[in-house]
Amino acid sequence: MPLFSPRKKTQKKQDISCTAVIAAAGSSSRMGAEDKLFIDIHGIPVLAHTLMAFENCVYISEIIIVAREQSIQLIGDICSSYNIDKASQIVFGGETRLHSVLNGVLAVSDSAEIIAIHDGARPCISTEIIERTIESAKKYHAAAPAVPVSSTLKRVKSDYILETVDRDSLFEVQTPQVFDADLIKAALSNAKNKSIGVTDDCQAVEIIGATVRIIEGSRLNIKLTTPEDIAIAQAILKGAEATQKES
Q: Where are the domains of the chain?
A: 18-144+173-246
Beta bridge partners of 179: 115, 142
- What pLDDT shows up at residue 7? 44
- What pLDDT shows up at residue 247? 54
- What pLDDT shows up at residue 99? 96
User: Do 116 and 145 contact (CB within 8 A), yes or no?
Assistant: no
CATH number at 18-144+173-246: 3.90.550.10
- One-letter amino acid identity for 226? T
- What pLDDT shows up at residue 26? 80
User: Do 120 and 68 contact (CB within 8 A), yes or no?
Assistant: no
Q: What is the pLDDT of residues 22-45, one digit of tens each?
A: 999 987 566 666 789 999 999 999
Q: Which of 115, 125, 127 is nearest to 18 (CA)?
A: 115
pTM here?
0.90
- What pLDDT shows up at residue 242? 58
- What pLDDT shows up at residue 243? 61
Which residues of the chain are under the pLDDT cut of 50? Answer: 1-11
What is the rounded CA–CA span in Å between residue 55 and residue 12?
14
User: Do 123 and 50 contact (CB within 8 A), yes or no?
Assistant: yes
Q: Which of 243, 18, 232 is nearest to 121 (CA)?
A: 232
Residues in the chain: 247
Q: Which of 226, 225, 224, 205 is nearest to 214 (CA)?
A: 205
